[in-house]
Structure 1
Amino acid sequence: MLNLQTESINLKQDSRFGKNGAPQGTPKSRRRLYQSIVFNLLRAAALVNGAALAIILWFMLARGWRAINWEFLTTAPYDSMTKGGILPCIVGTLCLGLGAMVVAFPIGVASAIYLNEYARPGKVLRIIRLGINNLAGVPSVVFGLFGLAFFVIYLEMGVSLLAGALTLAAMSLPVIIGASEEALKSVPDTYREASLGLGATKWQTIYRVVLPAAMPGILTGGILGLSRAAGELAPVMFTAAVYFAPKLPSSPFSEVMTLPYHIYVLATAGTEIEATRPLQYGSALVLIVLVLGMNLAAIIYRARLRNRLS
């Protein structure tokens, strides 16, 4: 009897067992197993996304690289768009994308500053944020119809570069506001308290302390907005793009050609769709490279700014 009691006490004191004699470490091993499963699922999802992107790039590159040459990049299309290049489309896409960012970026950042730094928490603020989140999920064709009704017809801008840029800016605003507000929220409150404690005003604190610290995250929102604006078809199809414009835009009220609309025309409404198949893939490849190039430039600037701040 004494031996059994002694053995039970030794089991309870053994580091491998709990108070009831149950093996310790079982919940921990289960957590490690669940963590390993979740991490493997995340790795698999990232691998699938990367593989899909690689397949798309390879598909476009294999079918479009033969069409790309100096003439293709520096001349306008001619002969029912079966010959020539896409220079007006490249210039029109750049003007629309950059014009949209010139309008949307400062308005989006200012809106995020107001919502995060000045607006009082309450029902009105919740409604505003709900509206912004809903606008971020609205299909682009709805923004295109809005731009057609408001900018093109009501404000009498006509089908023009300005109307298209303003429509793309309205479409990009929810993304920029959401990303900018999250970036401002990530700045520690101790930064604000230290600045205010040194005698700075609220605006000086925001301008000189909060905004520089949040700028890398704000630029992320700008990159997302630029990517969406540069590759959209529906908004510019109603407000800015035309079938053929041999000359480059000379004013904000000029009609423009864009790469997304040009690809759509060649693939669906052209007179010789099969003859223009290499031009379709070549234009799509140029659009991908153009969007990646603009994103890369913004990412490099963001990285340099982050290194400077750190």
Structure 2
Amino acid sequence: MHTNNTSKLKNRVILNKLFKLLFIFATSIALLFLGVLIYRILSQGLDYLTIDFLKNYPAPYIEEAGIFAGLMGSLFMIAITAPVAIILGVSTAIYLEEYAKQNKFTRFIQVNVQNLAGVPSIVFGLLGLTFFVYMLELGYTLIAGALTMSLLVLPVIVVAAQEAIRSVPKELRDASIGMGATKWQTIWRIVLPASIPGILTGSILALSRAIGETAPLIIVGAAAAIYTIPDSIFSKYTVMPMQIWSWTSRPQEEWQYVAAAGIIVLLIILLCMNAIAVWIRNKFQNRY
């Protein structure tokens, strides 16, 4: 009997080591390809990443081309997309987790929200074209693009917010209500502050996806090249992914290097967004 237990223990140790090696190998492969990609982008784009590149508008000549219009367009779009998507997403999650009765209809809504999180982005582009551009007659404007991107990231934010709210211990709610607080006071003062780290993580990841999307914006009319920045929500606009896509579609090899410089700018913005999310998440996690 003792021999069998020893044999089983040895087999488990060997199996554990095999899986550990497998995971290390898989991680190494992923990091290798990521490193090659980053090296290629940096080696091609760093020489073109200058102050003039950041402040110039698109131009037909490589030495005069810049990403300023796309950079400002992306920032303006996210400035509209973020509050719309986060407010709607968190509100929906609060209703589903705290107020809605768990029945077939609620489960139907939750299943569809989760399914929408995996729908191809171009489908949301078609929805935005139909609803915002044609039905609401917003035209090919910044607000139409931003609302379309809000629809794109909304399911992801809802799911992330639901998980964050669900992870708040029930004892915190019971203690708050036991002290005489109303349900809404408990949600506002206890549940939301405790779930902010998870909500922010999901929201930032969703917005990172939005700032790098191209397909929906092509459908709702983002320009490939524009020589002004938006002065209102009804202005024409372009975004960094559209500008980069425009450069990569040109036949001259030098335009690929200009596109690499644009990708570096986009990566820096994404890294900054994620760094801010991590900082805020850690700040609020220390409270609970």
State the TM bucket, normalised to the shorter chain. Answer: over 0.9
- Give the corresponding residue for 2:271: 292
Q: Quote the Cα distance in structure 2 between the aligned partners of 1:80 and 1:149.
A: 36
Q: What is the match of residue 122 of structure 1?
A: 103
Q: Which amino acid in structure 1 is aligned with residue 241 of structure 2?
A: P
1:258 maps to what in 2?
239
Q: Which amino acid aligns with 2:169?
A: P
Distance in 2, matches of 1:139 and 1:93, equals 21
The 8 Å contact of residues 112 and 177 in structure 1, kept in 2 or not, is answered as: yes
Amino acid at match of 1:70: I
Kindly indicate whether the alpha-carbon contact (under 8 Å) linking 1:98 and 1:226 is maintained by their aligned counterparts in 2: no
Shift of 1:293: 1.7
After TM superposition, the structure 1 stretch with the greater mean CA deviation from structure 2, 38-47 or 252-261, is 38-47
Aligned partner (choices 123, 135, 139) of residue 116 of structure 2? 135
TM-score normalised by structure 1 residue count? 0.88
Q: Tell me which residue corresponds to 1:301.
A: 280
8 Å CA contact retained: 1:82, 1:275: no
SS in structure 2 of the partner of residue 24 of structure 1: helix
- Which residue, out of 56, 59, 81, partners 1:100? 81
For residues 190 and 102 of structure 2, the distance between their equivalents in structure 1, rounded to whole angstroms, comes to 23
How many Å apart are 1:23 and its aligned residue?
Answer: 4.3
Q: Is 1:44 matched with 2:25?
A: yes
Asked if the contact 2:161–2:202 (Cα under 8 Å) also holds between the matched residues in 1, the reply is yes
- Bigger drift between 236-245 and 99-108 goes to 236-245
Question: Counterparts in 2 of 1:21-170, with a 5 A limit?
Answer: 22-79=3-60, 83-170=64-151
1:138/1:82 Cα in 2 relative to 1: closer, same or farther (>3 Å)?
Answer: farther
Distance 1:117 1:194 in 2: 16
Residues 1:152 and 1:80: Cα distance change in structure 2 (over 3 Å): farther
Question: Which of 239, 243, 247 in structure 1 is aligned with 2:224?
Answer: 243
Any unmatched runs of 5+ in structure 2?
Answer: none
The residue number in structure 2 matching 1:273 is 252
Percent identity (aligned): 39
Give, as a single letter, the amino acid of the residue that structure 2 aligns with 1:119: A
User: What's the Cα RMSD here?
Assistant: 1.7
Match of 1:176?
157
Amino acid at match of 1:100: T
Q: 1:200 aligns with which of 178, 181, 188?
A: 181
Moved more, 215-224 or 235-244: 235-244
- Native 8 Å contact 2:200 2:281 kept in 1: yes
Indicate how the Cα distance of structure 1 residues 81 and 89 shifts in structure 2: closer, same or farther if over 3 A, else same: farther
Larger of the two Rg values belongs to structure:
1
Contact 2:212 2:241 (8 Å CA) reproduced: yes
Contact 1:159 1:238 in 2 (8 A): no
Counterpart Cα distance in 2 of 1:120 and 1:36: 46
Distance 1:152 1:102 in 2: 20
Q: Is the 8 A contact 2:62 2:258 kept in 1?
A: no
TM-score w.r.t. length of structure 2? 0.94
State the SS of the aligned residue for 2:275.
helix
Alignment partners' CA distance in 2, 1:34 and 1:184: 37
Q: CA deviation at 1:123?
A: 1.0
Which amino acid in 2 is paired with 1:239? Answer: V
